[in-house]
Chains A and B, each alone.
Chain A
Amino acid sequence: MIPAAFSYESPRTLKEALALLESNPNAKLLAGGHSLLPAMKLRLATPPALIDLGRIPDLNYIRDTGDHLAIGALTPHAAVASSELLHRMSPLLAEAADSIGDVQVRNRGTIGGSLAQAHPNADYPAAILALDAEIVTLSRTGEHVIPAREFFTGMFTTALSANEIITEVRVPKTTGAGAAYKKFAHPASGYAVVGVATVVRKHGNAIESAAIGITGVSGTPYRATAVENALRGKPASAIADASRRAADGIEAIGDTFASPGYRRHLAMVFTRRALETALARARAK
């Protein structure tokens, strides 16, 4: 299992990387390599050139920027999972990162790579959507900020253009809210057959708001707006009924492991579980 031959560049700056992308439009960016290299070994991908982002300093960080936490695109899943800053101020992303694959995958795979890949069963997209995170990119025309809800456009497709590099992900602090990520992991690969991320705010005994991101059910991760609307201002007892709407209006995908009907069922069950856990973690106003 040897990839087809390619030329390899390892730029030291983002500027250099952008110039290389510009002059070689068929080149692929390489981050952790844990989606791209397996595809290249199977020759499902045969890029003529790789531009390795791994030697550009300062793309691997988690910083407090006031309202938000900023995560560098090259930050590996393991660093997100164990970040004290995230655990304290925005734990949902860390919980999702901790559930990705296995230790070795989490040591190599990066947040920028996972988002750019947009695998339909990836974990981060659910959390990114529930958090209304922002994806920061750089191209020759400058910096762009893409809201999570505009980022995922289909199976393995995103709003990124070919000459754009993700540099950072910004997540809001969720102090006071309760968050949870619940997934039904594929027993062999670890990918989410279905994964549900939620951020719940509580007012007295009622649910003030619930944001719900779902991955794995359809080709594109989505916000379960029907459930969100059904829960606004309602008590915890409304969760079970509202969760039945987790795949409303969604065309579910099926494969040898899970049929569309089974995925819809899992969406309901895991939405309920995520909401119950998040609510228990929320502090009432």
Chain B
Amino acid sequence: MKKNIAININGVEHRAQVEPRLLLVHFLREVAGFTGTHIGCETSLCGACTVLLDGRAVKSCTVLAVQADGRSVTTIEGLAQGNRLHAIQEGFWEEHGLQCGYCTPGMIMCAHDLLERSATPTEQEIRQALDGNLCRCTGYQHIVNSVQAAARKLGKRKATRAVAAD
């Protein structure tokens, strides 16, 4: 029997009638049209499908859409503000954190989860945080550099905001 669900995606509510077996990643891509979330392995191993569910990184191929009913999801499309890329996206751009780009949305969402918890992670912490995300192209070093660059940018923006508030 189909279920009525409502998921807030990137700040906008999306309602649909779905089969309970529909995976969140298929809801995002095929029902709501957010194809920035990629499907790599579909077996919970590659991290390409990572999105934020209530702010925490999850593999959307291993969550049912019905489990996300009433909750909020952020996908890669939800990070930029207008034409201004998010600091993590800028970091990946400037530090060559991608080649084919297939793993990138998942890497960025996972980096987002990390930087929310820890503003100045060490290289080791970054590598541990991205442990569930595979990249077949970059060899990871540039991805780590990108996350470090993003952390610096976010730190600077926070400092600027604090000065402005004084």
Contact = CB atoms under 8 A, between A and B. Distances in A.
Interface in B16-59: 19-21, 23, 26, 42-45, 47, 50, 53, 56-59
B62 A38 contact: yes
A50 B53 CA distance: 21
Contacts of B50: 104
B57 to A, nearest CB: 5
Contacts of B57: 103-104, 107
Contact-size category for A: 20 to 34
A1 B110 CA distance: 23
Contact-size category for B: 20 to 34
Contacts of B64: 8, 33, 37
A8 B66 contact: yes
A54 B67 contact: yes
Given A33-B62, A34-B62, A108-B63, A101 B132 contact: yes
Contact of A6 (B21, B129, B133): B21
Interface in A9-58: 10, 30, 33-34, 37-38, 40-42, 50, 52, 54
A104 B114 CA distance: 11
A7 B20 contact: yes
Contact of A1 (B43, B53, B59, B63): B43
A3 B44 CA distance: 14
Contacts of B19: 5
Interface of A: 1-8, 10, 30, 33-34, 37-38, 40-42, 50, 52, 54, 78, 101-105, 107-108, 188-190
